[in-house]
Amino acid sequence: MSIVMIDIESDGPIPGDYSMISFGAVIVDENLDKTFYGKLKPISKKWIPDALAISKYTREETLKFDEPKKVMEQFEIWLKENCKTKPMFFSDNNGFDWQFINWYFHHFLGKNPFGYSSTNLGSLYKGLVGNTFKNFKHLRKAKHTHNPVDDAIGNAEALLYMKNQMNLKI
């Protein structure tokens, strides 16, 4: 499996009613130099100002972003070019990030190259240390900026730390 760390930003809590504004992905390897960044035009007239503010974009800016179908097609091509094996979806909050990526892939392309499952980085860490109250975020090197590429890289750094320093088999 090729591990792909993903982070998304949205203007609301669920796909369909609200929009994925941007997402970033990185192939998890020792270099972390294969990244993807997509900015997507809103699909809905609904949006929550506080949710959108996290992305640091205005509604007016997002309306000039790329068509979602085009971005998802480009992401699928990027995955095919950069994953030697079936891509495996990882995220620090897969309950949130997965729902948007999965919905957008199925809605715009009719399929999801990740299949039907994802892995939660936080849960993985909790299991690794045997404590559901522990958090992995101190393992990030990159600053958490809410730029989805930066955040995906920081999460990938944490996963690589778990692999290299904590003997996680991935």
Q: How confident is the model at residue 128 (pLDDT cuts 50, 70, 90)?
A: very high
Instruction: Please state the φ and ψ torsions of residue 91, each to the nearest 5 degrees.
Output: -160, 160
Q: Quick check: 162 pLDDT over 90?
A: yes
Domain residue limits, the chain: 2-119
Instruction: Please state the φ and ψ torsions of residue 81, each to the nearest 5 degrees.
Output: -75, -25
Q: How confident is the model at residue 148 (pLDDT cuts 50, 70, 90)?
A: very high
CA 3/CA 132 separation, integer angstroms? 23
As a whole number, mean pLDDT of residues 108-125 equals 97
Question: What is the predicted pLDDT for the residue at 1?
Answer: 83
Nearest to 36 by CA among 48, 27, 49: 27
Question: What is the predicted pLDDT for the residue at 99?
Answer: 98
Q: What is the pLDDT of residues 24-61, one digit of tens each?
A: 999 999 999 999 999 999 999 999 999 999 999 999 99
pTM: 0.97
Q: Quick check: 160 pLDDT over 90?
A: yes
State how far Cα 18 lies from the chain centre.
Answer: 17
- What is the DSSP code string of 14-26? SBTTB-EEEEEEE
CATH class of 2-119: alpha beta
| Residue 115 DSSP code | T
Strands 87-91, 118-120: pairing is: parallel
Nearest to 1 by CA among 139, 128, 159, 110: 159
As a whole number, mean pLDDT of residues 67-77 equals 98
Instruction: Please state the φ and ψ torsions of residue 100, each to the nearest 5 degrees.
Output: -70, -50
